[in-house]
Amino acid sequence: MVVSITWSLSSGGAAASSPQNHGTVGNGDTGSALDLYIRHDGSNEITGVGFYIRAYSGGSYDGDGTPADDYNELIAWGDAWVTAGDGGIEIAQNASSPTWVVHKTGQGTVAVPIGITTDSGVSSDDEIDAGEEAHVKVRIGVPTAEDTAGTRYLDHCLAFTYTS
């Protein structure tokens, strides 16, 4: 059986369109946090749930480089991250009291996803049960020293296993 994942901008809402725009973000700043609600239509839980980013693979690309360049740059921003807001793609699993974690080499990649936790509103770490909805926040931070303005694209993905 196939299970479908829904990423929504509101609790119980319709699927979000892609891509989402984080707006204009200046050097040394973070964009507004985007609330994401994640659920699935399976009759059983999904397990091994984790977040990762990858090079943009959607339709039209309107960035200023290439999808691979964007991904590599955003991972490099994360690698240089010391504290929240330093730069990179950040995720907070406690939407009401965010503690930000950055995607970087070895964390938040397809090889090493950031595991979902109960802070996101699910009942068990690494799982989303049938009928549950996770709530996280994501944002982008631009390093203070960044010298190349432009648009970056990426895919924010969910790793999981489903057994019917």
Domain count, the chain: 1
Residue range 78-135, pLDDT digits in tens:
999 888 778 899 999 998 999 999 999 999 999 999 999 999 999 999 999 999 999 9
pLDDT digits (tens, 9 = 90+) for 141-151: 999 989 988 99
Exposed, middle or buried, 51 (CB in 10 Å: 0-12/13-18/19+)?
buried
User: Which residues, 6 or more positions from 103, have their beta carbon under 8 angstroms from its beta carbon?
Assistant: 51, 52, 53, 74, 75, 78, 88, 89, 90, 91, 109, 114
**Rounded to two decimals, what is the model's pTM?**
0.93
Domain hosting 16: range is: 5-20+27-162
